[in-house]
Structure 1
């Protein structure tokens, strides 16, 4: 199972993207997206304790080095995919900075707040969000799949109960999204998640 942890800084990622012939205009868009993400996420960290930006760069690396995605709106949305859900950013702010396409993709992958208090309300809201993703455009699904690759590629670093719960959620709701994709990206995600599922089969 291939993992995507090579881009720890934007400088590393940018250098690799330039080698892969991403144009100057597209790189400039991603420069702005990374700067915006840094500003919105601030000192936030992932559950593993690493800076939040590393997760965003992992999702970007999955799209570029794994699935072969080059569309700059999709790549920018990957960098910004958590800003509305996890910071005080709004979809309108994303649209103002990056246009309606990026804003729509970010909106699709943003889980809305739970309609009530408590674990049951949060669980119901998340289930509704995951089911709704089946209706998302292919670019948004691609961003979500890359996000989840970043989250599950080192699943064994998380507590055992979380591992089992997240494995089940990924198999039940995320992997079926691959069926909605066509072309090389869909094939790549199918192969990667297939290998991941076999690697973590003991959690099933």
Structure 2
């Protein structure tokens, strides 16, 4: 899949790293006891170096790959909110450095959208750490506005409308009104296929 991708969106969540007792850096496996790992926060220089290495590996597979970097707005309360903010700051500094030196890397401000524009608590889930469904939807719309060409934006809007209609569960599936609704939906799906080259469903 990566060999065919034109754009890859990478979202960074934390600056935490995990090491085995012998010092090797590993992915934290939640099926293993936590005592098997030593956890620490990576510094900005290490993050830049490791992310650049990952970027080089991706580009070895797909040299023309465009990368959109984001930082997750999820707050890691288990480290304390201040430590969580510092971790996000390190991620932001690392991504900023990568984007400044790589012409095919750009940054989308999902983190800033939630913290600065959607800062009302109604945009957070009940745990006050995760974004709410509304926040996710609004950030998704901003992402689409930011990166989609006008034709793709039109396509996405039309397809979403048809998918919502297709997924509608009627109260009276045998009614004349519902049969008319389904006939109209089939007609609109045919128009969509003629316009875009494939079915919306």
TM norm structure 1 = 0.28
Q: Which has the higher contact order (CA 8 A, sep 6+)?
A: 1
Kindly indicate which of the two structures has a greater share of residues assigned to helix: 1
Larger radius of gyration: 2
